[in-house]
């Protein structure tokens, strides 16, 4: 019989691949759909471009994003105060649940042809886990608010730069 840790690692890998598949189906399609649809890029070039820039983004800033999702949206040490020795398992199961929730939402949205954000999905899932496991005081609401402000400010800045360049 495999150990519980081995099962958690296997579940994490499966859920990670599940989310990655749905990210490719939704986020990359959102980013490249207009370029391919207009004929500005061939499908082959869009896939190559997406692969290069998705890898570059993950390599260059992926650890910062992972660190924020893993430790800065809520304090995992608070789980120890409530769950004691089981805190590590609660954290692992909660993060697996967050992956499954985000992946399932992306699958539904892709099936319905809705362009949604993976980042919004995973942030919402992790905040949901923090609320369920730690209560309403669990999430670091100022940090979550700062993340949310970025979702509003970033498109505004991009729009302004595009306007100026055009």
pTM surpassing 0.75?
yes
Q: Using one digit for the tens of pLDDT, what is the confidence trace for 14-44?
A: 998 998 888 888 877 888 888 898 999 999 9
What are the pLDDT digits (tens) for 100-154? 999 999 999 999 988 888 888 899 999 999 999 999 999 999 999 998 898 899 8
Q: Which tokens in the block code for residue 83? A: 């769950």
Closest to 98 (Cα-Cα) out of 76, 121, 80, 72: 121
């Amino acid at each position: 019989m495999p150990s519980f840790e081995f099962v958690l690692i296997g579940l994490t890998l499966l859920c990670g691949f599940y989310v990655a598949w749905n990210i490719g189906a939704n986020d990359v399609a959102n980013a490249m759909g207009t370029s391919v649809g207009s004929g500005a890029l061939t499908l082959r070039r869009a896939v190559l471009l997406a692969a290069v820039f998705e890898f570059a983004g993950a390599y260059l800033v992926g650890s910062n994003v992972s660190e924020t999702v893993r430790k800065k949206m809520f304090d995992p040490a608070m789980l120890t105060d409530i769950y004691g020795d089981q805190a590590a398992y609660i954290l692992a199961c909660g993060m697996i649940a967050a992956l499954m929730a985000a992946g399932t939402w992306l699958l539904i949205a892709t099936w319905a042809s809705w362009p949604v954000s993976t980042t919004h999905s995973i942030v919402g899932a992790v905040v949901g886990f923090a609320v369920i496991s730690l209560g309403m005081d669990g999430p670091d609401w100022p940090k979550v608010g700062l993340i949310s402000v970025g979702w509003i400010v970033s498109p505004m800045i991009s729009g302004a730069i595009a306007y100026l360049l055009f």
